Amino acid sequence: MRLITKYLFREISSPFLISLLIITFILFVNFLLRAIDRFLGKGLEISIIIEYLFFNLAWIIALSIPMAMLLATLTTFGRLSEDNEINALRSSGISFISILSPPLIFGLSIAFLLIIFNNYVLPEMNFKARLLSGDIYKKMPDVNIEPGVFLDNIPNYNMIISDKKDSTLINVRIFSKGKTESQTSIYAKKGNLSTLSNAFLLTLSNGEIHEIENKDYMNYRRILFDTHRILIPAENILLNRRDSSNRTDREMTIPMIMNKIKKYNTKLEIVNKRIKGAFYRTTGDSILPKDINDGLLTISIVKDSLKKNSFSTVNQLNKKERQLKSLERQLKNDFNLIKSYHKGKNKYKVEAHKKFSIPFACILFVLLGAPLGVMAKRGGFAISTALSFGFFLLYYILLITGEELADRNHVSPEMGMWAPNGFLLIIALYLVLYAIRERAPIPLFNFLKNKTN
């Protein structure tokens, strides 16, 4: 049995490494084709581009490993079944569960390594990729300016361009924003964005400025210019990118995420205490409504009982009504805060669960791929790739949907991140059961079996 275990380990490890390299290469080339256009012709050093691509390789590997696990399992068991090695093992008294055990241990090992990778390597590389992206933006600020897309992170202005040729902006339109004494719109045929030591300089050519006062619309000015310069302080744009202490959810380890969730829980406790204190001061009872509707209903009941109280004077009634209206406004504001805090907390909880749910899928893909390969009885790379891609695409769609629903507070983070795994587990156990009974539950496998015969 030890010899068979070593043999199965060797049979699945080689396809896994090959599949991982192929899938990573395909995803990397796809990312490269989408990203390289932003850097070509920008005067960036090749070492900076390579460094940026290397940092982004982390999330590609994290995505490739589960898919490679499924593809490797399908390929391995398809070949073993096609060469009748599965039948030979079974005729020797070895059950399908025993045959499945070595690949499961292999999948468990890969899942464990992926958990470590997702928790320590991936967040750090995502973080460094964002910082490097900020450095690139500082060196070439026009990298993120796209034709037809509003740029709203310029202080006091919104900007849109119709086209861009190399570093020259074509048909630049700029509009003032915020509360100012006058509304300003600027049009220029051409523009260039350059970097100073602590600011950006936007140089406009052949254009005009239109100004109109907000207090008196009759006061209007039109100014034609050959050259007009706008100085943009760099710290207003770059500090949020260069702050090394400010990490997003995908740039955090589990301890960082737990600390962030703890802070949100503290904020929620403060708001809950404030709500109970407000109810106590107004109604004499420390009430904590379960939601905004429950709170408004409680206030409505208090108002009705107040009107029926014949012992209160008119002044007392008016004072109490003002207090209740103030409580109602505070309640709406506080529950908006609670909703915002829950949404923020859920975002971090989703990321924490994702660090474990995706690696756990490696084990499920072994359970899924083994019976699929046996039933298909085809070890070819094409059929294995098609089946693995189909199931992985289904899993990925479910995962993205669950993450979106959890981020929007429609479902719990646990449900959003683990429901796709639960769905895969049901399918995998169903297929394993039929593989043990040597039956094909899906007509596709009967078709493939007849075709191979």
Q: Same domain, yes or no, for 274 and 303?
A: yes
Say what percent of the chain tops pLDDT 90: 28
- Rounded to 5 degrees, φ, ψ at 187 are -125, 135
Amino acid identity, position 359: P
The pairing of beta strand 199-213 with beta strand 182-195: antiparallel
Average pLDDT score over the chain: 82
The pLDDT confidence band at residue 309, using thresholds 50, 70 and 90, is low
Using one digit for the tens of pLDDT, what is the confidence trace for 85-102? 888 888 888 888 888 999
Say what percent of the chain tops pLDDT 70: 81
Q: What is the pLDDT of residue 444?
A: 47
Q: Same domain, yes or no, for 191 and 269?
A: no
Q: Same domain, yes or no, for 98 and 22?
A: yes
From CA 259, how far away is CA 349, in angstroms rounded?
A: 11
Q: Same domain, yes or no, for 123 and 20?
A: yes
> Final residue of a domain: which of 296, 319, 347?
347
From CA 284, how far away is CA 276, in angstroms rounded?
A: 10
Q: Same domain, yes or no, for 100 and 168?
A: no
Q: Same domain, yes or no, for 95 and 56?
A: yes
Q: Give the pLDDT mean for 325-345.
A: 87
Q: What is the pLDDT of residue 87?
A: 83
Burial of 214: CB neighbours in 10 Å, binned 0-12, 13-18, 19+:
exposed
The pLDDT confidence band at residue 435, using thresholds 50, 70 and 90, is confident
Highest mean pLDDT among 136-145, 316-325, 346-355: 346-355
- Rounded to 5 degrees, φ, ψ at 445 are -70, -35
Q: Give the pLDDT mean for 195-213.
A: 80
Using one digit for the tens of pLDDT, what is the confidence trace for 128-179? 888 887 766 655 555 557 777 777 666 677 888 888 887 788 888 888 876 6
Q: What is the pLDDT of residue 93?
A: 82
Q: What is the pLDDT of residue 377?
A: 63
3-state SS of the chain is: CHHHHHHHHHHHHHHHHHHHHHHHHHHHHHHHHHHHHHHCCCCCCHHHHHHHHHHHHHHHHHHHHHHHHHHHHHHHHHHHHHCCHHHHHHHCCCCHHHHHHHHHHHHHHHHHHHHHHHHHHHHHHHHHHHHHHHHHHHHCHHHHCCCCCCEEEECCEEEEEEEEECCEEEEEEEEECCCCCEEEEEEEEEEEEEECCCEEEEEEEEEEEEEEECCCCCCEEEEEEEEEEEEEECHHHHHHHHCCCCCCHHHCCHHHHHHHHHHHHHHHHHHHHHHHHHHHHHHCCCCCCCCHHHHHHHHHHHHHHHHHCCCCCHHHHHHHHHHHHHHHHHHHHHHHHHHHHHHHHHHHHHHHHHHHHHHHHHHHHHHHHHHHHHHHCCCCHHHHHHHHHHHHHHHHHHHHHHHHHHHCCCCCHHHHHHHHHHHHHHHHHHHHHHHHCCCCCCHHHHHHHHHHC
Q: What is the pLDDT of residue 103?
A: 92
| pLDDT higher than threshold 90 for residue 297 | no
Amino acid identity, position 115: I
C-alpha closest to that of 359 among 112, 123, 126: 112
Can you give the residue range of the structural domain that contains 370?
2-139+353-452
> Final residue of a domain: which of 191, 214, 242?
242
Over the Cα atoms of the chain, what is R_g? 31
From CA 361, how far away is CA 339, in angstroms rounded?
A: 31
Q: Same domain, yes or no, for 176 and 99?
A: no
Sequence-separated (6 or more) residues with CB below 8 Å from residue 242: 131, 134
The residue ranking higher by pLDDT, 68 or 304, is 68
> Final residue of a domain: which of 317, 347, 377?
347
Q: What is the pLDDT of residue 137?
A: 62
Q: What is the pLDDT of residue 236?
A: 43
Using one digit for the tens of pLDDT, what is the confidence trace for 233-257? 655 444 334 445 578 888 899 999 9
Q: What is the pLDDT of residue 419?
A: 93
Q: What is the pLDDT of residue 363?
A: 94
The pLDDT confidence band at residue 37, using thresholds 50, 70 and 90, is low
Q: Give the pLDDT mean for 295-301.
A: 83
Q: What is the pLDDT of residue 118?
A: 93
| pLDDT higher than threshold 60 for residue 125 | yes
Using one digit for the tens of pLDDT, what is the confidence trace for 103-124? 999 999 999 999 999 999 999 9
Residues 276/338, Cβ–Cβ less than 8 Å? no
> Total structural domains in the chain?
3
3-state SS of 32-99 is: HHHHHHHHCCCCCCHHHHHHHHHHHHHHHHHHHHHHHHHHHHHHHHHHHHHCCHHHHHHHCCCCHHHH
Give the distance from CA 340 to its chain's centroid. Answer: 18
Q: Give the pLDDT mean for 439-452.
A: 50
Q: Same domain, yes or no, for 28 and 111?
A: yes
Q: What is the pLDDT of residue 163?
A: 85
Q: What is the pLDDT of residue 41?
A: 52
Q: Same domain, yes or no, for 131 and 7?
A: yes
Q: Same domain, yes or no, for 210 and 106?
A: no
The pLDDT confidence band at residue 379, using thresholds 50, 70 and 90, is very low
From CA 75, how far away is CA 370, in angstroms rounded?
A: 9
Q: Same domain, yes or no, for 294 and 312?
A: yes
Q: Same domain, yes or no, for 317 and 197?
A: no
The residue ranking higher by pLDDT, 384 or 42, is 384
Give bridge partners of residue 229 from the DSSP assignment. 203
C-alpha closest to that of 138 among 198, 190, 191: 198
| pLDDT higher than threshold 50 for residue 222 | yes
C-alpha closest to that of 66 among 8, 19, 124, 14: 19
The CA angle 392-398-403, to the nearest 5 degrees, is 125
Q: What is the pLDDT of residue 229?
A: 87
From CA 13, how far away is CA 346, in angstroms rounded?
A: 37
| pLDDT higher than threshold 90 for residue 329 | no
